[in-house]
Amino acid sequence: MTGGNQLPISLDLTPDVRVLALAISVAILSGLLFGLAPAWCCSREDPASVLQQNTRGASGGAGTLGKSLIIAQVALSLVLLLGAGLFARSFQRLRSIDVGFQKQSVLEIGLNPKPRGYEQLDINTYHRQLTARIASLPAVLSVAFSATSLPGTQDWRDTVSTLADASINAHLMASAIMVSPNFFRTLGIPLVQGREFSEVDDEHHPRLAIINRGLAKRLFPDGHIVGQTIRFSILPEYQSIQVVAVADDARVVNLRDATVPVLYLCSLQEHPQAGNLIVRSNQSPEALARAASQQIESLGHEYALQTKTIEQIISQDLVEERVTALLSGFFASLALLLACIGLYGLMSYGVTRRTREIGIRVALGAQRENVLWIVLRETLALALFGIAIGIPAALAATRLIASMLFGLFPSDLPTIAGVSLLLLFVALLAGYLPARRASSIDPMDALRAE
């Protein structure tokens, strides 16, 4: 996703022969490797001792190797579940974050010039005329112009410093945004100090700027801001800019950081051409898109390239986090399903091997609840062992994705507790059916079983 254009991410899911061949090869190789161990064990068995052995009378349940594999599977599932949980919670926090400006009922209209649309055009007069026409539409509350799409990564970043001592902030970078009068009122960004740009702040007056609170604290820690002079970049015309106001921090540049230094320049002094109209209404902004496009077309200089609500732009800006959360959640769910199947298979096998033992217990007076608990206790023990091993492994693995999280640490306790409880619940579910079957065994049938 780049700049203000916010190109959609394309995820190509077309089947690939090479990927399919690799997946088949890995599946065959895994089957062969995991089939070699039991085959090798069977080849070393003495046929006579096997025939004399009553396998149903064995009390060992599932083998040590099988239990170890299930514990490892639970531990790996926990690693994937914790990663998916962190991605999902991070995405949810980004979606519900306070961006510092009005999101609801705000429409952004991208402007693009017609062929020779800007020839012999007074851009400031045109922008006044355009915003006046849009403001006259029914249900429109406020209209403003911005040279760049909001929110989004800004292309114009440069050093900013005070005029008194540039060496102190020689490496302080700020993002510059050209905006029209009425911009802050349209987006609902409060001004902490000073005034908003007005229609008289044109090229015939000294260059003006409004800075956000984050930049103000770094440039003027003493709090005396309005009326101060700053310099921006190395261009001669930006070496003496008067600060007329301080705006509250808003995530107009980076959704993930509200304190990014931002410098708002008056568009009447900058003469930007193609940009974006910001329209706030008291009804659904989508309904205004057609009428606004017609007004833009009627002036004969530009056309509406695209119309989107601010909420749609934010949603598109978070598409990478959304895809990451969905994919990690899918694979974590798959791992959880495999762990559930593995536990169920192991417990079913163990119940089958212990049929005579369970029958004897019932015949000697064991209650069915006790038999049920015997199987569930073994299931829970395997799950708890897997969780105990998986938590340290997950904490080590999730450090690799720490930079991709928002407002969370890899060791987030609620997420760890949540995925651990989910694994325990799945383990209980996987062990309940074999445990129920064990508790319903008829003692006489079990004692007659070979």
Q: What is the pLDDT of residues 341-369, one digit of tens each?
A: 888 887 777 777 766 666 676 666 667 77
**pLDDT tens digits, residue range 111-148?**
988 888 888 888 888 989 999 999 998 889 999 999 88
Give the residue with greater pLDDT, 181 vs 362. Answer: 181
Give the residue with greater pLDDT, 67 vs 76. Answer: 76
Mean pLDDT of 289-300: 88
- Distance, in Å, from the CA atom of 87 to the CA atom of 407, rounded to the nearest integer, reads 11
Is the per-residue pLDDT at 1 higher than 60?
A: no
Q: Which of 103-107, 188-192, 392-396 has the lowest mean pLDDT?
A: 103-107
pLDDT band at 376 (very low <50, low <70, confident <90, very high): confident
b/e map 189-209, b = 16+ CB within 10 Å: beeebbebbeeebeeeeebbb
pLDDT at 55: 46
- For 106, 255, 326, 407, the CA distances from 319, given in Å and listed in that order, are 20, 13, 10, 18
Mean pLDDT of the chain: 83
Mean pLDDT of 390-409: 89
pLDDT at 3: 38
- For 24, 42, 363, 439, 449, the CA distances from 442, given in Å and listed in that order, are 44, 32, 9, 9, 11
Is the per-residue pLDDT at 371 higher than 50?
A: yes
The proportion of the chain whose per-residue pLDDT surpasses 70, expressed as a percent, equals 84
- Distance, in Å, from the CA atom of 313 to the CA atom of 3, rounded to the nearest integer, reads 12
The proportion of the chain whose per-residue pLDDT surpasses 90, expressed as a percent, equals 26
Is the per-residue pLDDT at 9 higher than 60?
A: no
Query: What is the identity of the amino acid at 330?
Result: F
pTM of the entire structure?
A: 0.76
pLDDT at 60: 47
**pLDDT tens digits, residue range 214-262?**
999 989 888 888 989 999 988 888 889 999 999 999 998 888 887 889 9
